[in-house]
Structure 1
Amino acid sequence: MSDIILQTQQLTKEFKGFTAVSQVNLSVQRGSIHALIGPNGAGKTTCFNLLTKFLEPSSGTILFNGVDITRERPAQIARRGIIRSFQISAVFPHLTLLENVRLGLQRSLGTSYHFWRSERTLHQLNDRALALLAEVGLEDMADEVTVNLPYGRKRALEIATTLAMEPELMLLDEPTQGMGHEDVHRVTQLIKKVSAGRTILMVEHNMSVISNIADTITVLQRGAVLAEGPYAEVSRNPLVMEAYMGTTDGQLQGAH
């Protein structure tokens, strides 16, 4: 099997004369953490929406494990193992943490839509759900109602529910957005931990997060790839510094 899990070729999205994503060639290595960064309006989220088929590309190709998925629907993409978490925490607030993760696991039972089945059929999933909560450091809060969680812990729960769907490729959209320093550090470490044996593609603004965990960084500007490579290389690129800070002086660390 190829080392490239996800590849785009000349991926383009136009909205009535405005090109949001322009001929993007992206190659995500299997088993890596790949970050998509860029100034506001660079096309990062549009790119994510194209990859998960919430938007149809105007032109170009998307390959997953060498298979052309450009015209597939979002549900088909998810079944292939491309699972996305969103900028806004997407968990059920009035269910417990255990129940939230169990819902993600239900897919493997094939009972997702069997609402007339007894809830007892879900109890077989409890052990796996607890193991996933343990993986993100939430096992002690399994019976807590989700609405009571602090923001950073909600994001950790969301990663657990994403893991429940057994992703081959996890797409994380701004996983540390809106967090205080302590939560940012905790979630960064969590992403690093759960990346073992998995592939992660993430959109992230926080440069300290990127510098700590990303293997490869792709910088977008005005919808096109400006630079790509490891953080040490990209952060010294004069074009990248200028895109972020309007200057070629200084380093990229200050750009959040």
Structure 2
Amino acid sequence: MASEVILETKNLTKGFKGFIAVNDVSLKVRRGSIHALIGPNGAGKTTFFNLLTKFLTPTAGSILYNGDDITALKPEQIAHRGVIRSFQISAVFPHLSVLENVRIGLQRALGTSYHFWKSERTLDQLNGRAMQLLAEVDLESFADTLTVDLPYGRKRALEIATTLAMEPELMLLDEPTQGMGHEDVHRVTELIRKVSAGRTILMVEHNMSVVSGICDRISVLQRGALLAEGNYEEVSNNPQVMEAYMGTTSGALEGAHG
């Protein structure tokens, strides 16, 4: 029987020449949840993500995924186990169509990424699944559009579709609404809620309205250490969290972008 916890870190630590970027973080992510990692700038959120995906090696501590210790695995081994970081595996081919970008994601999942010399007709078998993924992120009508011509918010949707092509069990979303206007924020927030069905999502996000709207649990980092955890109401009313974000215990977390 699958454990309730899909991802766990135990005393995870990363130091850079005397500077501790992630400091003894023990965190559990429940299977099927949307879990947010928040904190002021410089809190260690991106470093923590880089440790999870093994683009950085921990100084100390361990990472467990589905109960297995994955601390020593390589980035590609982590991805093969179903831990996929969105916007790292992104739509990196601006002059290919939206459909072609998703199809490349599917090729990666099939292990045929380097078969570019094959006839394009051999890739047509992937079109059906690619269109299903585009439908999942509301991009069917943009299938033949060059990626470079997509509006910014739609590019983020495409990046999510490309990530979904890798069949993630755990999606790591790194500031999915950064730099967006209100309309795009709302669209991508609803998209995250939609694609979370049957998956687990761990996301770094600055926009508190997004976090309050869709996240089941929130972990707050400050100076690399875990400051607080809980649901949005618990975290937003925590005096230590308000102090970290606002510099005062009298302000509210709502609207803080840190």
Q: Which TM-score bucket, shorter chain as reference? A: over 0.9
Give the deviation of 1:3 after TM superposition: 0.8
Question: Is the 8 Å Cα contact of residues 205 and 211 (structure 2) preserved in structure 1?
Answer: yes
Give the structure 1 partner of residue 223 of structure 2. Answer: 222
Give the deviation of 1:87 after TM superposition: 7.6
Give the structure 1 partner of residue 23 of structure 2. Answer: 22
Give the structure 2 partner of residue 107 of structure 1. Answer: 108
For 1:57, give the aligned amino acid.
P
Structure 2 CA distance for aligned equivalents of residues 127 and 133 of structure 1: 10
Question: Is the 8 Å Cα contact of residues 32 and 198 (structure 2) preserved in structure 1?
Answer: yes
Give the deviation of 1:250 after TM superposition: 2.9
Q: What per-residue deviation string (whole Å, max 9, x for no partner) do you get for residues 104-134 of structure 1?
A: 1113433222232211111011011001000
Question: Is the 8 Å Cα contact of residues 220 and 241 (structure 2) preserved in structure 1?
Answer: yes
Give the structure 1 partner of residue 155 of structure 2. Answer: 154
Question: Is the 8 Å Cα contact of residues 14 and 21 (structure 1) preserved in structure 2?
Answer: yes
Aligned residues: 256
Structure 2 CA distance for aligned equivalents of residues 86 and 103 of structure 1: 15
Structure 1 CA distance for aligned equivalents of residues 189 and 252 of structure 2: 21
Give the structure 2 partner of residue 83 of structure 1. Answer: 84
Give the deviation of 1:187 after TM superposition: 0.3
Structure 2 CA distance for aligned equivalents of residues 20 and 65 of structure 1: 26
**Identical residues among aligned pairs (%):** 78
For 1:28, give the aligned amino acid.
V
Give the structure 1 partner of residue 7 of structure 2. Answer: 6
> Aligned to 1:132, what secondary structure does the other structure show?
helix
Question: Is the 8 Å Cα contact of residues 86 and 174 (structure 1) preserved in structure 2?
Answer: no
Give the deviation of 1:89 after TM superposition: 5.8
Structure 1 CA distance for aligned equivalents of residues 164 and 87 of structure 2: 14
For 2:71, give the aligned amino acid.
T
Give the deviation of 1:141 after TM superposition: 0.6
> Aligned to 2:61, what secondary structure does the other structure show?
strand
Give the structure 1 partner of residue 94 of structure 2. Answer: 93
Structure 1 CA distance for aligned equivalents of residues 214 and 11 of structure 2: 27
Q: What per-residue deviation string (whole Å, max 9, x for no partner) do you get for residues 155-180 of structure 1?
A: 00000000000000000000000001
Q: TM-score, normalised by structure 2?
A: 0.97
Question: Is the 8 Å Cα contact of residues 89 and 154 (structure 1) preserved in structure 2?
Answer: no
Structure 2 CA distance for aligned equivalents of residues 110 and 241 of structure 1: 47
Within 5 Å, give how 1:39-58 maps onto structure 2.
39-58=40-59
Closer/same/farther in 2, CA of residues 130 and 88 from structure 1, 3 Å limit: closer
Give the structure 2 partner of residue 213 of structure 1. Answer: 214
Give the structure 2 partner of residue 140 of structure 1. Answer: 141
Question: Is the 8 Å Cα contact of residues 51 and 62 (structure 1) preserved in structure 2?
Answer: yes
Structure 2 CA distance for aligned equivalents of residues 70 and 50 of structure 1: 9
Q: What per-residue deviation string (whole Å, max 9, x for no partner) do you get for residues 59-109 of structure 1?
A: 000000011110111000000100001389643101100000001111343
Q: Which runs of 5+ in 1 are unaligned?
A: none
Q: What per-residue deviation string (whole Å, max 9, x for no partner) do you get for residues 13-67 of structure 1?
A: 0000000000000100000000000000000000000000000000000000011
For 1:86, give the aligned amino acid.
F
Structure 2 CA distance for aligned equivalents of residues 51 and 160 of structure 1: 21
Give the structure 2 partner of residue 196 of structure 1. Answer: 197
> Aligned to 1:14, what secondary structure does the other structure show?
strand
* Bigger mean CA offset, 53-62 vs 109-118: 109-118
Q: Which runs of 5+ in 2 are unaligned?
A: none
Structure 2 CA distance for aligned equivalents of residues 188 and 211 of structure 1: 11
Closer/same/farther in 2, CA of residues 71 and 111 from structure 1, 3 Å limit: same
Give the structure 1 partner of residue 187 of structure 2. Answer: 186
Aligned CA-pair RMSD: 1.2
Q: TM-score, normalised by structure 1?
A: 0.98
Structure 2 CA distance for aligned equivalents of residues 27 and 221 of structure 1: 17
